[in-house]
Amino acid sequence: MATSNPRRAQLSSDISALNMRPLWERVMRLKPGTAAQPVIWRWSEVQPYLMRSAELITTREAERRVLMLENPALKGTTFATTTLYAGLQVILPGEIARTHRHAPNALRFIVEGEGAYTAVEGERVTMRPGDFVTTPNWAWHDHGNLGSEPVVWLDGLDLAFANLFGAHFREEFPQESQPVSRAEGDAGARYGANLLPVDYRPTGRASPVLCYPYSRTREALEQLARNGEPDAAHGFKLRYANPVTGGHPFPTMAVFMQWLPKGFSGRRARSTDGAVFCVVEGRGQAQVGETRIDFAPHDVFVVPSWEYCQLKAEADCVLFSYSDRAAQEALGFWREETTQGA
Ligand code: 1HN
């Protein structure tokens, strides 16, 4: 070893006072993949704690009542993967989660319950299970529950990027709820109907479509599954698109929904994006590296960067996921590898 040479060791120690280190002694990672590990949060175990948190703290006290899903290999970071945050948020009937805005982009994936809304820049969006709702960066947003049952959703944020760049700004709105300035459905009509306003010029980098409703996503997947053959690794997998660019809904996060037909047994595949999955329907398995993950509806699990993943479906499965693929593609880092054969 280079360090067993005493004169080199002396050099190493002499220069440390100048905040320098020899590159030949580095212990830095020089291979694909991250420290994140495969992990699952089972709805059957998590749901009672979410409801307990709802008894112990109000949204007024908490601002957001969220149980963060922290990767056990990334303790202290709050993150599910090295680049992505995931948390389960619950809001009770009558509650409001006050208005703020921040530099990180956020997505909501609705897990359970009806009657809650997210308001984004003056427009309220009613959230239904399976809907994917966007909160573009620096957009004022608040949540409320006008219904009669608790509503739970998965939050996905690209906080790590804002932190990495030293660009994590935050601001509070003067009132708890922001005033409603647009009718519900306005963004859907303008941007979400395969049409765009004439002369539309995007103001930000995130998709202006505030809600991608599950009814339409599911219908598209079901039709694909009726009419063709699944991809050998991914089943029938679609990505959500920003209609303005054709690209991903966020500059950092790619977002997907996939259908695995009953009995599907996929090929192993790996890619450099780390992903957070949320099970919408069905049961099955994800073999992620050495870890076998048995999943059921509402479970959340992580497939880290460059781990082989093999998906199997015991029943027709619908899986939502988001990953850092958008950022990786934009910066030229993204790669994938699909194994050949069965
Ligand atoms: C945030 O603004 C929300 O608006 C949820 O619901 C989770 C985690 C970290 C930073 C900001 C929300 C968040 C968050």
Residue 122 alpha carbon to ligand 1 centre in Å: 18
Choosing among 2.40.10.340, 3.40.50.720, 2.60.120.10, 2.40.10.500, the CATH entry for 39-338 is 2.60.120.10
Distance CA 314, CA 205 (A): 39
Q: Output the DSSP codes for 62-73.
A: HSS-EEE---GG
pLDDT in tens, 175-192: 999 999 999 999 999 999
Q: 259 pLDDT exceeds 80? A: yes
For residue 252, give the DSSP letter: S
Q: Which of 108, 117, 157, 170 to mutate to test ligand 1, by most ligand atoms within 8 A of the CB atom?
A: 157
Distance CA 7, CA 26 (A): 17
Q: 21 pLDDT exceeds 80? A: yes
Q: Is 141 a pocket residue for ligand 1 (Cβ < 6 Å)?
A: yes
Nearest CA to ligand 1 atom 7: 155
What pLDDT does 341 receive? 56
* Closest of 260, 255, 237, 239 to residue 311, by C-alpha: 260
Q: 16 pLDDT exceeds 90? A: yes
Mean pLDDT of 212-238: 98
Q: Is 98 a pocket residue for ligand 1 (Cβ < 6 Å)?
A: no
Parse the chain into domains and list their residue ranges: 39-338
Mean pLDDT of 34-54: 98
pLDDT in tens, 129-144: 999 999 999 999 999 9
What pLDDT does 29 receive? 81
* Closest of 293, 330, 321, 341 to residue 38, by C-alpha: 293
Q: Output the DSSP codes for 165-205.
A: HT---EEE-SSSSPPP-B-TTHHHHHHSSS---TT---SSS
What pLDDT does 43 receive? 98
Q: Is 318 a pocket residue for ligand 1 (Cβ < 6 Å)?
A: no
Distance CA 96, CA 330 (A): 36
Residue 275 alpha carbon to ligand 1 centre in Å: 19
pLDDT in tens, 84-126: 999 999 999 999 999 999 999 999 999 999 999 999 999 999 9
Q: 340 pLDDT exceeds 90? A: no
What pLDDT does 37 receive? 98
Q: 331 pLDDT exceeds 90? A: yes
Q: Measured between alpha carbons, how far is residue 199 from residues 196, 219, 242 in Å?
A: 8, 31, 17
Distance CA 340, CA 112 (A): 38
pLDDT in tens, 281-330: 999 999 999 999 999 999 999 999 999 999 999 999 999 999 999 999 99
Residue 26 alpha carbon to ligand 1 centre in Å: 37
Distance CA 139, CA 121 (A): 6
Closest atom, ligand 1, to C-alpha of 141: 4
